Structure 1
């Protein structure tokens, strides 16, 4: 979710929201056509960030059956990008509007380039990690130093969660690694900003609250 937002994705597909591919396709079609037709070089892109473990409209987890199982016998979460590409290609092939769009913008080449190309890309770990921000560097140094202090005091099996002044806060690692779900209220905020999440956009209902006292900032 956060990676997709940070990367400026047009559409973000996450496990918490079963995907309606008709919604995704219509969002993609409208935005892609607009970008191309408003481009002086008749070019444009549409980016979808897909999480492994995403579900289809029926609520079934999408997996690549050829990926095998993990050490615990569970199906490996793989193949989401390939699945999304194939579903969107299938819908596009039935859409005469896309053929007309290609011809109207002089992009159509019989037998060669009839429809826009949909690609799947699986970034390597270095690309997914991205560049280090000042926040990453500051927190990394502080958390690393604090972790050594915890070990020196015999507090192994814990994770540093914050360092503020002389106060080092930690929590049991077994608790920290528990799965956390995306806040769907936050999703609706980004839907109002134009990002697609594979469903019909829901209204964001803000609660406006004035903050009293000192504001605690990360840095």
Structure 2
């Protein structure tokens, strides 16, 4: 058996642990293992597949990032290229990718990635490539999976950052707005906001009202609390408003960001209180993974190899009710897991007095 491993989309803590686990599990079975650099990028170079051995993955479990590199512009079905007139276009180069897999006798691919990567993986299965997916995204928005690798570290980093900013907010009696990642789902904002005892949490699933936030600020002032901590997901938006974006590069998803600055400015105008905004950004992606992320990543990686061994292809390894199982890639493609508004964690936030913006 000859398998390949790649990591696609944004990096996430735990990727290296998953790579190591899958590699060692495959080598133990006597298989050959190859890495694909930068998503699918190296498939289009002179050395498409890099041989992996025990030395390749030694000591990488504790490291952030991915030794294979990653890319969010490497969709083989929509690859950016420069036209003759100098403008940029997109072309389908997936047939070349399939041909390289066949040329090098790659029997299966372990694709580690999020919703975009799984969408690509599903389309590649329709071209004959046998794939087992591993769920990766700090956003935790992959449909059908309770927890994705990278989420625990991201929410932990966000919680620590909010804790630190809270002391500054209290010292200066300011409104502090902290923007966290998550794209169109509010998992990071909700978990880190609740854990750090934020006063306001704004998530994409609940369009927010500035009047509601102002009322919360006034309520706190009436109790002698002259500062307010506001955690906002990058995909949150006001009622009747739009998501704030930074634009879109050809071949990439639109870049979200900037909502914290808008919220801070608007609240300062409405309350007359000094405000500041902080964007945590890629800080949430970097650094050593937590114990939980190391373990879940290793479990996912080893489980993917068991799937290959058993011939369970075109599936995504997922955690459901604290048990590993698989679901078809076709069920995941094009779907997103949002925060359920009737979940106990949303109810908990409301019960302890956190304003959710509505």
Settle same-fold status: TM greater than 0.5: yes
Out of 148, 157, 170, which is 2:305 matched to? 148
3-state SS, counterpart of residue 231 of structure 2 = strand
In structure 1, the partner of 2:228 is 46
The answer on whether the counterparts of 2:201 and 2:356 sit within 8 Å (CA) in structure 1 is yes
In structure 2, the partner of 1:81 is 260
Q: Distance in 1 between matches of 2:320 and 2:279?
A: 35
Equivalence map 1:1-219=2 (5 Å): 1-31=190-220, 34=223, 36=225, 45-58=227-240, 60-64=241-245, 67-71=246-250, 76-93=255-272, 115=273, 117-127=274-284, 132-162=289-319, 168-176=324-332, 178-186=335-343, 187-199=346-358
Query: Which ranges of structure 1 fall in alignment gaps of 5 or more residues?
Result: 37-43, 94-114, 200-219
In structure 1, the partner of 2:122 is none
Q: Distance in 2 between matches of 1:6 and 1:140?
A: 23
3-state SS, counterpart of residue 182 of structure 1 = coil
Distance of aligned partners of 1:74 and 1:161 in 2 relative to their CA distance in 1, 3 Å threshold: closer
The answer on whether the counterparts of 1:32 and 1:46 sit within 8 Å (CA) in structure 2 is no
RMSD between aligned residues:
3.3
3-state SS, counterpart of residue 119 of structure 1 = strand
The CA deviation at 1:73 is 8.9
The CA deviation at 1:34 is 3.7
3-state SS, counterpart of residue 47 of structure 1 = strand
The total of aligned residue pairs comes to 166
3-state SS, counterpart of residue 185 of structure 1 = coil
TM-score by length of 2: 0.40
The answer on whether the counterparts of 1:89 and 1:118 sit within 8 Å (CA) in structure 2 is yes
Query: Which structure's residues are more often strand, by fraction?
Result: 2
The CA deviation at 1:81 is 0.8
The CA deviation at 1:196 is 0.8
3-state SS, counterpart of residue 275 of structure 2 = coil
The answer on whether the counterparts of 1:63 and 1:75 sit within 8 Å (CA) in structure 2 is no
Query: Which ranges of structure 2 fall in alignment gaps of 5 or more residues?
Result: 1-189
1:49-93 deviation digits (Å, cap 9, x = unpaired): 1112222222x32314xx222436975422111111111011012
The CA deviation at 1:168 is 4.9
Q: Distance in 2 between matches of 1:121 and 1:194?
A: 23
